[in-house]
Structure 1
Amino acid sequence: MKQLRAAVMLSDLPVRIFTVCSNKKNMRGYNNERAATAGGKQWFYNWIVRIMMERATNYCLENSVKKLGRPAKMKVLFSARGGHSYGQTKAYWEWLRAKGRPFLDLYEIRFEVLSFGLVDYVPHYMHAGLQLADIAASSMYQAVEARSTRWSTACAEALSPVMARSGGSVVDTGLVLQPHKIDAIGLSGEQKMIFQHYGYRFKR
């Protein structure tokens, strides 16, 4: 299977994968008023990107300090798609930076490694890194889209060697499930399988 071969090849590369899973079913009726206030019309998109950037910038900060002895800037590439204002996303990040460090949040965007001059938006076919991200995204999508005839957790499981971890755990770092009250989401048994594989525990 071509997709499985691609996932296996990706798992051999020096990369780390961060995934946020939040589909229309499990977010129906959910609202984040703080994100809506700051994020404008695309608050949900900005909020999901924020969750991913919190994990990615924390990893890059720790990794660069470990290897270089100092924080190093990371390059951020978005896959350009219609309907999103990337300028609004950066404005949301500016708002977060101006707010300062949150008191209770476990994660935060580490602006020591983030430079807005290194944020770009290009079509996915123009950059190999975005194509690798597509492999990861499609693998995870295939694992949670249980109604599809192509449903399988094999590709997502094959990515295990490169899933980002914190304290040895993928949960809430390399694989984030939203909203955080996971037992209230209503996932099917098949949908739960990939999350259970990576360490999530459901009560029912």
Structure 2
Amino acid sequence: MSNPSKIPDYEYIALIDEAGEPGLTRVRPMDPEGSSEWLIVSGILVRKESEDKLDSWYADMRSRLVKFKGKVIHFAKLNETNKLITCQFLSKKPVKIFSVCSNKKNMKGYTNPFAELRSLDRNWFYCWLTRVLLERITHFVLNDSMLRSGKPAKVKLIYSHRGGLSYSQLNAYFALIKMQGRVGGLYLELGKVYFETLDMRLVEVIPHFEHLGLTFADIAASAYFKGCDTYNTHACDPRFAQALKSRMASVEYRDETEIESYRTYAGYGVKLLPSFRGANITKEQSLIFKFYGYPRQWWDPTPTTPSPYRMATVSPTVALDAPDKMPGA
């Protein structure tokens, strides 16, 4: 539940859900009975004017499913035909999709590094991944709102409730990283969260079934999970995440001469953790990431390792109401 004090105005809504399991004590494939090898956290960004349309979008999508009798749409429980239908449907809506894909093999055995927040012992890893997600979402919101109105706008965050996650935990974690960012004390050298677009009074943690819009975040997260998982779902199938391409967030870069430009998803709309090489993934698992531009990760925000294409310029073509176009696509 969000803070009951006066709610500020907002222009964007980010619906956030995950696929996979956050456990790090035992991790597949090293531990055959361990938690999933992958944890995917995805965000669906829409403008405020689309907020009232989410229920009708859901009803329209449900009506298109083949022989579907369930009460609630869960991507993982759909057959292949209906999985593809949901992704193709979402790809035609005025949204932007962001997915952070963590291969957990190198995280096995890690425990909560935030001594200040013992309450996060169960959810610290999930909170950290959402921070990586928000780096990208808040970057987009800031640039898109500056293009539209010349000033930063706020984004409302709606999280699908997961085991033990609470508003108070998120509030404490965001307060910590905001403070650490000011003093240069971040535990990990990552990009920047643009807090001018955030307000904790605009954060909600609610059950999946209470907000139909969260179904679209489940579709995105589960599509990427299916694209790279081999142990929980038995075989990688990148088709579903590939079908979302027209709505995946991307950025445009120009070289020093400003003659050539590059539009990229790798590192921005699709973020692989750790690096492509460091993740040590199989050929089958790599297909979805290569489809979106890896092994080169173009979006490389300060203060991470320098890149020849450091400065990102957000083109009007990344607007929420128009799909991205890559040169030659």
Query: What TM-score bracket applies, with the shorter chain setting the length?
Result: 0.7 to 0.9
Over the aligned positions, Cα root-mean-square deviation in angstroms equals: 2.2
Q: Normalized per residue, which structure has more strand?
A: 2
Q: 8 Å contact 2:166–2:205 — kept in the other structure?
A: no
Where structure 1 has 5 or more consecutive residues not aligned to the other structure, the ranges are none
Q: CA deviation at 1:46?
A: 1.5
Q: 8 Å contact 1:46–1:89 — kept in the other structure?
A: yes
Q: CA deviation at 1:150?
A: 5.6
How do 1:100-139 residues align onto structure 2 when only pairs under 5 Å count? 100-101=181-182, 107-139=191-223
Label 1:38 to 1:153 Cα distance change in 2 as closer, same or farther (>3 A).
Answer: farther
1:187 aligns with 2:281: yes
SS in 1 for 2:277: helix
Q: Normalised by the size of structure 1, how large is the TM-score?
A: 0.88
How do 1:159-178 residues align onto structure 2 when only pairs under 5 Å count? 159-167=244-252, 168-178=263-273
2:224 aligned partner: 140
Q: 8 Å contact 2:167–2:203 — kept in the other structure?
A: no
CA deviations 1:89-137 (Å, max 9, x no partner) are 2211112222345599562111111011110011112213211101101
Separation (CA, whole Å) in 2 of partners of 1:120 and 1:112: 18
Separation (CA, whole Å) in 1 of partners of 2:86 and 2:192: 32
SS in 2 for 1:52: helix
Among 47, 64, 87, the residue aligned to 2:128: 47
Q: Normalized per residue, which structure has more helix?
A: 1
CA deviations 1:33-85 (Å, max 9, x no partner) are 4xx33554132121111000111011111111111221111110000122223
Separation (CA, whole Å) in 2 of partners of 1:69 and 1:22: 35
Q: Normalised by the size of structure 2, how large is the TM-score?
A: 0.56
Partner letter of residue 121 of structure 1?
A: V
Q: Percent same amino acid at aligned positions?
A: 39
**Higher Cα Rg, which structure:** 2
Where structure 2 has 5 or more consecutive residues not aligned to the other structure, the ranges are 1-80, 253-262, 297-329
Q: 8 Å contact 2:236–2:285 — kept in the other structure?
A: no
2:320 aligned partner: none
| Count of residues in correspondence between the two structures | 199
1:70 aligns with 2:143: no
How do 1:147-166 residues align onto structure 2 when only pairs under 5 Å count? 147=231, 148-149=233-234, 151-166=236-251
1:37 aligns with 2:115: yes
CA deviations 1:148-192 (Å, max 9, x no partner) are 346311110000011111222111111111123x31322111100
